[in-house]
Amino acid sequence: MSYNKTKTDPELGQKVHEHLVKMGVETPTTPNKLVRTDKIHIIEGHFKSIMETMGLDLSDDSLCDTPKRVARMYVNEIFWGLDYEAFPKCTAVDNKMKYNEMVCERNINVQSNCEHHFVVIDGLATVAYVPNQKVLGLSKINRIVEYFSKRPQIQERLTEQIFHTLQFILDTEDVAVMIDAQHYCVKSRGVEDTGSSTVTSKLGGGFKSDPAARAEFYQLARKQ
């Protein structure tokens, strides 16, 4: 999904950023004051140079707009998760019903890009938590996964970022995250292994300390 400025919470995003820095799992970035239009303009120029260096004819009607298309795609579609102004609204309500069992969201779409080669990471995430004082709107879990997917990533850090963000927002240690994904840096280049996938997980609270809770989560995560 492309960046949607109507469903964002920049203030929460800044708090999440500070928390991830504290936890040592923030994406390596350097601050700049470039707005989206500036970024698109600069990336367009650089990508035009790359294409020209490769010997492509940018006067061709099929290629002439590619630098602009790529620049817009980078900023507004596949890497908008670098911008904490775009952090999603995360509506939580008081746990008035005293619900204290697992809430599990399965088969959450993960579409990211490997930070080593800028090619696709494609897979599914399972996220679970046991409510303490707050219950999070279900779609917000999907949006958090999507947000951190929309930046250059390695799967290990992506898993950590989702985990620590949910612990922070929900104020509970009882969070579990698992991602099963294919990496096109493995699939379409290098070793060219088309059948393998990478599984990462991060467990906290009861999911880590209670063998029964741990087993239940992994059983749900692996269930098709």
Catalytic residue among 44, 90, 161, 183: 183
- Range list of β-strands (E), the chain: 92-94, 103-114, 120-129, 134-136, 152-153, 175-183, 198-203
The reply to whether 115 belongs to the active site is yes
Catalytic residue among 114, 173, 182, 216: 114
Taking the C-alpha atoms of residue 40 and residue 72, their distance in angstroms, rounded to an integer, is 6
Catalytic residue among 155, 161, 164, 167: 155
CA-based R_g, the chain, Å: 19
Which residue pairs, CB below 8 angstroms and at least 24 apart, start in 170-173? 170/92, 170/129, 170/131, 170/132, 170/134, 170/136, 171/132, 171/133, 171/134, 172/129, 172/130, 172/131, 172/132, 172/134, 172/205, 173/204, 173/205, 173/206
Catalytic residue among 19, 26, 185, 216: 185
The reply to whether 116 belongs to the active site is yes
The reply to whether 183 belongs to the active site is yes
The reply to whether 117 belongs to the active site is yes
Catalytic residue among 11, 46, 77, 116: 116
Catalytic residue among 26, 115, 173, 216: 115
Residue 59 identity: S
Catalytic residue among 17, 19, 41, 117: 117
The reply to whether 164 belongs to the active site is no
Structure-token match 């994406």, residue found: 27
Residues catalogued as catalytic: 114-117, 155, 183, 185
